[in-house]
Every structure is written in C-alpha cells, then in structure tokens.
Chains A and B, each alone.
Chain A
Amino acid sequence: MIENRPGLNILAHVTLILGVVVVAMPVWVAFVASTHTATDFSSGTIPMWPGPHLVENYRTMLDTGLSTSGTPPVGQMMVNSMIMALSIAIGKICISMLSAFAIVYFRFPFRGLAFWCIFITLMLPVEVRIVPSFQVVADLGLLNSYAGLSLPLIASATATFLFRQVFLTIPDELTEAARIDGAGPMKFFRDILLPLSRTNMAALFVILFIYGWNQYIWPLLITTEPQYYTIVAGIKRMADVVDGLPKWHLVMATAIMAMLPPVAVVIGMQRLFVKGLVETEK
C-alpha cells in the first residue's frame, strides 16, 4: 500500500465481498435447491434458504440414484470418477518422470525426435482429435473399461517439461557423487531424483487430479454401460430427461457432490495447488 486512503480500502473490500458473493451464488442456489423437494419448485416461488430435506436427498442419490435416467447410484459414479482421476494423475506423473529422466540424463540417437513426439501432444487436445481417438479405442476393445477411460488422456507434455525443468536444476555434483559411489542410473533415480522432486510431484498431482476428475466428453463417449459412468458425465444424463422436467433437487444434489472432491483438494492444499498451477504454465 502506497498511501493511507480509507475510502479506497472500503471500496476494495466492497468489491471483493461482491466478487465472493457473485462467485459463490450459483453454488449456493444449487445447495439450497438440493435441500428441497420437487414440489417446492412447482409452487412458483423459488426458495432462497435451505430446506429440511438435505440428508434425505443426498442419501437417495448416493444409494439408489435416479433410476429413470438410467444412471447408477451416485456413490458408484464417484468411485468410478475417483479411479479415473487417480489413474490419470498417477499415470501421467509416472510416465512423464521416466521420460524426462531419459531425456535429461542420457544421450542417444533420435533424442530430439522423441522430444518432439512428446511436445506435439500439447497441440492435440482430446476435443480436437475426438472422432479418430474414439475409433482407436473402439478398435482396441477398450470401450467401457477403466483403461479406455484413462489411457488416452495419460500422455502429457506439460508434466514431462516440468520434470525436465526440475531435473535440470539438480546440481551435477550430486550425479557425480552418486556415480563415484557406484550408483547406476536407476538407483540414482530412486534415491536422489525421486526424493528431490517430491513437492513438484505433489503440486502436479493436485492439478492432474482436478483435470482427471473433471473430464467430460471422453467418459461420455466411451462409456455406454452404467457401471462405468463417471459423475461429471452422469449429471448430463440426469438433466436430460425426455418426459417432463428434470428432478432439479436431485440433479443439484449430484452437482454438489460432483464438485466436492476437487474443491476440497483445492482449498485443503491451496499452497500446492497454486504452485502446481504456476509451474505447469511455464
């Protein structure tokens, strides 16, 4: 702060409070809706405060789901989302750490070509190559499987670049010392590189978990059996009812549950989250 201007401070606080309220408004409305019954909406006045049906609505969704929409219980969809998000996050970290290690610590023919192969994935988001990717997964017989849900999203140039950056900052003296002590490459990787890049892995994990959990178009396309539905893709199926109005109170309960795990991760690990966000954009 440059000078003391109480008027500006009040203005700043008012702006921020307004911002927080506007940003939180949709979630508040959804939460309120999820604590009422369907009849509360048809009466014409929209409730502004939570009703008494919170436990009842959430339990219904978690245990039995919305059978009219053909979706399984929310509990099961959340398990599927969790499996998908964890496989994507852990898988991406593993394969990109290994490839970054190879690129930084070895000299071999076609190293540049391998680097370009990885780099090009940056330019091919799943939305762009969606039709042919679907054909590949169908040909491999991976429709309706956890492998089909996660494998096509697992290659990541950003994660490889991040680890490359981290490895480049690790002093050469450490490598020399390890070599003199007779450590082979894999021992060096396990005992020196892994522990040194632990915070980077954690920060990256936060970002990748959110990325994996929030996937939409891919699970929507390749899962046709309800037992593999993920929650984010499942919501759309619930809101799309052919006859009559969707059961908004139950759809909103599902929306709240769908955002709970990633939001909890961001708030609980805010420091790691900000670190991961800034690092992956370098």
Chain B
Amino acid sequence: MKRTIFNGQLLPWLLLAPQLAVTLVFFIWPAFQAIRQSFLREDAFGINSQFVGMANFRALLDSAQYLNSLKVTAVFAVSVTVLSMGVALILAVAVDRMLKSQRPYTTLLVWPYAVAPAVAGILWYFIFNPTVGILPFMLDIIGYDWNHNTDKGDAMILVVIASAWKQISYNFLFFVAGLQAIPASLREAAAIDGAGPVRRFFDITFPLLSPTTFFLLVVNIVYAMFETFAVIDSTTEGGPAQATNIMVYKVYFDGFIGQNMGSSAAQSVVLMLIVISLTVIQFRYVEKRVEY
C-alpha cells in the first residue's frame, strides 16, 4: 500500500480504460456468452434457441466421446508433466554440479522455449512420419511398425513427446534456480555425516526442492491442458479414433467443425472451472511460498 498517492477521480479511470475495454469486450463478454449458450439449444440453422437448463451438461456426462476425452486429457497431461519434469530435473541436477560450463549448457538447453507449439508439432510429425521419418525407419530395424495415423498408442506417444520436448527448457530453468537456492551447508553437513550423492539427493535436495516441484506441477498441467492445442492440431488432429482428442481440442472441434454450439459452450464452461481451480491452487501456494 502506498502512503503517498495522487488525487483525482477521473484520471485513474482514463488510465484503466484501455485495459478494461479490452477485458470487457474480448474476455468477460465472450465468457458470459459461453455460459449463456451452455444453457441453450440452437436449431440446425442457428436461428432459434431455447433454454434447456442443464441438458447440455447432462448430455456431456452421457457422451462416451466426452468421457473418453476426459480420460485422454488425464493420460496426456500426466505423461507430459512427468516426462518433461523428469528429464528437466535430471539435467538441472547435472548442471548444478558444473562450475564453469553452467552457462553454455544452459544456453544450449533453454532455446526450445521459444519454439512455437505448432512448429514443435510439425518437427516431431516429420521425424515420426511413417514414410519419410527417421525414427520409424530405425524402429523398423528392431521390428516395430510405427504408424501414428492408425495406431492409437503411437499417436499418443507422438503428441506427448512433442509437447514435453518444448516444456523441458522451462522446467529446467526453474529447477536450476530452485537447486541454487538450497544452502550448500546442508549438503556439506550431510556429506560429512557420510551420506553419498544419491542419499543426499533423496534426503535433502529433493524435499527442499518441493516448492519448485509443486509450482512446476501446476504450471505443467495448465500447459498440457491448454497450450498444447497447437501440437494436437498440427499433428494428429485428435485422431486416430479420438485417441488424442484432448478437451480443448474437442471444444474447438465441436464448436467450429461440428457446429454444436450448446455442447461446445458447456465444454468451455467445464474448462473454465478447471482453470479457475488451478489458478486458485497456484495462488494459494504462491502466498505460502513468500513465507518459506
């Protein structure tokens, strides 16, 4: 709180006006529309609509496709989070040992953050391409017939790898910062007591890293649930047979291609509730971290 402030009633509103105008027109109004449409059913031509209460939401719960999408989203988000955080933690622990070479290694590891998810999708799509890709060619040698256009598991592996690859750099930077914040004296004391490197990692480093780990957990789940839209769209487009149709992709697909506005809006509302709960968790935790 500032003690010294400026007087004026009109000026602050003028200063806020651009931000509030954009927020109202492009954020709050569309969100309100989504909520309104989730209670309506439109006819095939979009002319008439009638209030149907919770029918759109009930239809979602009865829809095998939607339940499948929930399951796919959970598998996808957990896999992306575990894979990218796991790899990033190993690399961060390795770089934490370095004295002189820390900076060059960091530079070589952080740039994928800047690659667009859509481009990351295209890159891995090319590498895994059944006809011209390198990895299917190698997998063929050991007798595995890779085809993400027909095999559900292959498609899921493709989108998980493409999404996790891009996120490694972000997790890496935060893990390195977290590791450097742990006082060396603690590890030194453990070393004097005879704890080896592995023991020190599990008994001291990892527990003290838990604030960073928890923070990254939330960020990665948000990333996997929302920002990976482009990865899905540039590779599998939700297929084959709904195997990679995560929730955000289904909102878009049902709304724009299926033209089922009521269902799409109801799915938007469900997603909003998920984002809101994740944001609340994140903020609760940030408040705690200040005291840490």
B272 near A117 with CB under 8 A, answer no
Q: Nearest chain B CB to A256's CB is how many angstroms away?
A: 9
B20 near A117 with CB under 8 A, answer yes
Q: Nearest chain B CB to A222's CB is how many angstroms away?
A: 12
Main SS class of interface, B: helix
Chain A residues positioned under 8 Å from B137 (CB to CB): 46
Please tell me which one of the listed residues A1, A107, A252, A282 contacts residue B97 in the complex, with CB atoms under 8 A apart: A1
Contact with B along A86-114 (1 / 0, CB 8 A): 00000000111011011111111101001
B126 proximal to A (CB < 8 A): yes
Q: Within the assembled complex, what's the spacing in Å between the Cα atoms of A96 and B34?
A: 26
Contact with A along B117-131 (1 / 0, CB 8 A): 111101111110101
Please tell me which one of the listed residues A102, A179, A255, A273 contacts residue B4 in the complex, with CB atoms under 8 A apart: A179
Q: Within the assembled complex, what's the spacing in Å between the Cα atoms of A12 and B127?
A: 28
A155 near B23 with CB under 8 A, answer yes
B109 near A19 with CB under 8 A, answer yes
Main SS class of interface, A: helix
B99 proximal to A (CB < 8 A): yes
Contact with A along B217-261 (1 / 0, CB 8 A): 001000000110110011000000000000010011001100001
A-side interface residues, number (CB < 8 Å): 103
A3 near B229 with CB under 8 A, answer no
A181 proximal to B (CB < 8 A): no
Q: With A133-B30, A235-B122 as given contacts, are A258 and B116 in contact (CB-CB < 8 Å)?
A: yes
Interface residues on B, range: 35 or more
Number of A-B contacts (CB under 8 A): 294
A239 near B119 with CB under 8 A, answer no
Stretch at the interface among A52-60, A61-69, A196-204, A209-217: A209-217
Chain B residues positioned under 8 Å from A41 (CB to CB): 132
Q: Nearest chain B CB to A177's CB is how many angstroms away?
A: 10
Chain B residues positioned under 8 Å from A133 (CB to CB): 26, 30
Contact with B along A121-146 (1 / 0, CB 8 A): 11111011111111111001000000
Interface on A for B, CB 8 Å cutoff?
A: 1-3, 5, 8-9, 11-13, 15-16, 19-20, 23-27, 29-30, 33, 41, 46, 94-96, 98-99, 101-109, 111, 114, 117-118, 120-125, 127-137, 140, 151-152, 154-155, 160, 168, 172, 175-176, 179, 184-185, 188, 210, 213-214, 216-217, 220-221, 232-233, 235-236, 239, 245, 248, 251-252, 255, 258-259, 262-263, 265-267, 270, 273-274, 277-278, 281-282
- Name the 5 nearest CB pairs between A and B, nearest first: A214-B116, A132-B30, A262-B114, A102-B15, A132-B33
